[in-house]
Structure 1
Amino acid sequence: MPQNEANSASGIAVNDECKLKFLELKAKRNHRFIVFKIEEKIHQVTIEKLGQPEESYDDFTSSLPDNECRYAVYDFDFTTNDNCQKSKIFFIAWSPDASRVRSKTLYASSKDRFERELDGIQVELQATDPSEMSLDIVKARAL
């Protein structure tokens, strides 16, 4: 799908770089997380931050703004109850209460199509404050 083909619901396109970096996270594991931002002026989802493989979940959550919406993916490593090392890719729709209503609406109406562009999402979380995506919740959803 061409980079400039817009989401029919919201008119937001997905920059090809978003899909490329997601594939790198999924296949090569050279990013721990990716934070995506809708650039309203150009009606496109772009990458705001790439997390290095050694960065922690705290590094990830602190990279999300307190008063603006974002999409993010996080590659979560964990150990199962029978001691197996596993990894799951989380898609997080961050929509804090303090963000603008227009922004919340735009992110909500674009989310499903954007998420479909990222083939390989295993768990989805929606959060309006940090407690809704605490490490305990992520661990519980991963198992």
Structure 2
Amino acid sequence: MANASSGIVVDNDCKLKFLELESKRAHRFITFKIDDKLNMITVDKLSNPSQTYDDFTAALPETVCKYAVHDFDFVTEENCQKSKIIFIAWSPDTSKVCNKMLYANSKDRFRRELDGVQCGVQATDSSKIGIENIRDITR
């Protein structure tokens, strides 16, 4: 089903890979892109489970919008190990305005497709996805 406001369709592979991350922990993170030619959101990159948060932030380009999910591990104030799946709408200030608008118009519907996302962040630069900011949103 296409997104009513942007006309973008979500590729079924996006949901399948997300389920692998959520249920099997087969990936630490996944990045997604909008393929202009197909008018579809597709899987961009899959990580292996051993990759770090630094590997994730390095995978986000400086000038191109992306969506991403990250299986973020953290320790609570009660010293319990937990994880949350975070949705990141990466829209750098340096990307083209038309690209930012397309990603913004498709974001909410795409996030709803990924049932199991526990929190999210809209990021326009690396400070928004800094480790301390991510820890704050997982609390």
Residue of structure 1 in register with 2:54 after alignment? 58
Corresponding position: 1:93 with 2:85: no
From 116, 120, 130, the counterpart of 1:120 = 116
Corresponding position: 1:136 with 2:108: no
Where structure 2 has 5 or more consecutive residues not aligned to the other structure, the ranges are: none
Q: Secondary structure at the match of 1:140?
A: helix
1:5-44 map, 5 Å: 5-44=1-40
Corresponding position: 1:73 with 2:76: no
From 102, 109, 125, the counterpart of 1:106 = 102
Shift of 1:74: 0.3
Look up the equivalent residue of 1:100 and give its one-letter code.
Answer: K
Tell me how far apart the structure 2 counterparts of residues 133 and 64 of structure 1 sit (CA, whole Å). 10
Q: Secondary structure at the match of 2:32?
A: strand
Superposition misfits of 4+ residues, deviation over 6 angstroms: none
Number of residue pairs the alignment of both structures matches: 139
Tell me how far apart the structure 2 counterparts of residues 44 and 82 of structure 1 sit (CA, whole Å). 42
Look up the equivalent residue of 2:105 and give its one-letter code.
Answer: S
Tell me how far apart the structure 2 counterparts of residues 30 and 81 of structure 1 sit (CA, whole Å). 27
What is the aligned-residue RMSD (CA, Å)? 0.6
Shift of 1:142: 1.0
Percent identity over paired residues: 58
Q: Secondary structure at the match of 1:90?
A: strand
Shift of 1:51: 1.1
Q: Secondary structure at the match of 2:20?
A: helix
Tell me how far apart the structure 2 counterparts of residues 77 and 20 of structure 1 sit (CA, whole Å). 22
Shift of 1:6: 1.1
Tell me how far apart the structure 2 counterparts of residues 48 and 130 of structure 1 sit (CA, whole Å). 19
Shift of 1:108: 0.2
Shift of 1:107: 0.1
